[in-house]
Structure 1
Amino acid sequence: MYKKLLTFSLIAAALSACGDDKPQPPALVCNDPAVLQSVRGNVQEIIKQEARAFAQNDARQFVDADKIIAAGSELLITLDNPAQETRNGTNVCSANLRIQIPAAILSTAQTNSPLIYGDQTINQIIQQRTTGSTLTYDGAGVFSRTLGYTPTTSDGQTVINYADNSLTGTAQAVSAALLPYGVKSILIVNGQALSLEDALRLRHQPFAEPPVATPADILDNNAASAVFGQAAPAEASPPEVLSPVAPNNDEVLFSANELEQAKNNNRAADEEINRLWERMDKTVQQRLLNEQRSWIQSKNNSCRQAAAQANSTLQAEYLQLQCDTRMTRERSQYLRGYTIN
Structure 2
Amino acid sequence: MYKKLSAAALSLALLAACGDEAAKPAQAPLACDIPLAAQSVRNSIIDTLTREAKAFARSDNRQFIDADKVIAAATQLAVRLDNAQETREGNEALCRADLSIQIPNDIWTAAESGSPLIYGQTAIRELVAGKIMGSNLAHEGNTFRTTLRYLPQADGSITFKDNTPAHTAQILSAALLPYGVKSMVVIDGRAVSKEEAVKLLSAETYPEPPEAQPAPEDILENNAAAHSEGVPAAEDDGVPGTEAEILQPGSSGQAEPPALAQSELDSARIQNQRAEADITRIWSRLERGVQQSILDEQRGWLQKKQQDCLRASAQADNPAHAEYLQLQCDTRMTRERIQYLRSYAID
Q: Same fold (TM over 0.5)?
A: yes
Tell me what 2:157 maps to.
Answer: 159
Tell me what 2:180 maps to.
Answer: 182
Secondary structure, in 3 states, of the residue corresponding to 2:253?
A: helix
CA drift of 1:206 comes to: 4.3
Taking structure 1 as the reference length, the TM-score comes to 0.60
Tell me what 2:84 maps to.
Answer: 82
User: Equivalents in 2 of 1:51, 1:265: separation in Å?
Assistant: 35
Tell me what 1:26 maps to.
Answer: 28
Counterpart residue identity of residue 145, structure 1: T
User: Equivalents in 2 of 1:205, 1:268: separation in Å?
Assistant: 50
Secondary structure, in 3 states, of the residue corresponding to 1:146?
A: strand
Q: Is the 8 A contact 1:110 1:121 kept in 2?
A: yes
User: Equivalents in 2 of 1:23, 1:329: separation in Å?
Assistant: 46
Tell me what 2:144 maps to.
Answer: 143
Residue 128 of structure 1, aligned match among 123, 127, 130: 130
Distance 1:158 1:330, change over 3 A: farther
User: Equivalents in 2 of 1:328, 1:42: separation in Å?
Assistant: 15
User: Equivalents in 1 of 2:211, 2:185: separation in Å?
Assistant: 15
Counterpart residue identity of residue 88, structure 1: G
Distance 1:266 1:129, change over 3 A: farther
Q: Is the 8 A contact 2:64 2:182 kept in 1?
A: yes
The answer to whether structure 1 residue 267 and structure 2 residue 253 are counterparts is yes
The share of aligned pairs that are identical, in percent, is 35
Residue 50 of structure 1, aligned match among 49, 52, 57: 52
CA drift of 1:28 comes to: 1.3
Gaps spanning 5+ residues in structure 2: where?
Answer: 1-10, 213-247, 257-298, 311-319, 331-347
Secondary structure, in 3 states, of the residue corresponding to 2:162?
A: coil
Q: Is the 8 A contact 1:115 1:209 kept in 2?
A: no
Q: Is the 8 A contact 1:63 1:183 kept in 2?
A: yes
Tell me what 1:278 maps to.
Answer: none
Distance 1:327 1:163, change over 3 A: closer
CA drift of 1:26 comes to: 2.6
User: Equivalents in 2 of 1:88, 1:180: separation in Å?
Assistant: 43
Distance 1:292 1:27, change over 3 A: closer
Q: Is the 8 A contact 1:118 1:210 kept in 2?
A: no
Secondary structure, in 3 states, of the residue corresponding to 1:81?
A: strand
Gaps spanning 5+ residues in structure 1: where?
Answer: 1-8, 213-261, 271-283, 297-324, 336-341
CA drift of 1:165 comes to: 0.5
User: Equivalents in 1 of 2:194, 2:96: separation in Å?
Assistant: 43
User: Equivalents in 2 of 1:188, 1:332: separation in Å?
Assistant: 30
| Cα root mean square deviation, aligned | 3.7
Runs of 4+ in structure 1 over 2 Å off = 11-26, 204-212, 262-267, 284-293, 325-330, 332-335
Secondary structure, in 3 states, of the residue corresponding to 1:150?
A: strand
Taking structure 2 as the reference length, the TM-score comes to 0.59
Q: Is the 8 A contact 2:200 2:206 kept in 1?
A: no
Q: Is the 8 A contact 2:134 2:300 kept in 1?
A: no
Secondary structure, in 3 states, of the residue corresponding to 1:78?
A: strand
Tell me what 1:173 maps to.
Answer: 171
User: Equivalents in 2 of 1:94, 1:51: separation in Å?
Assistant: 30
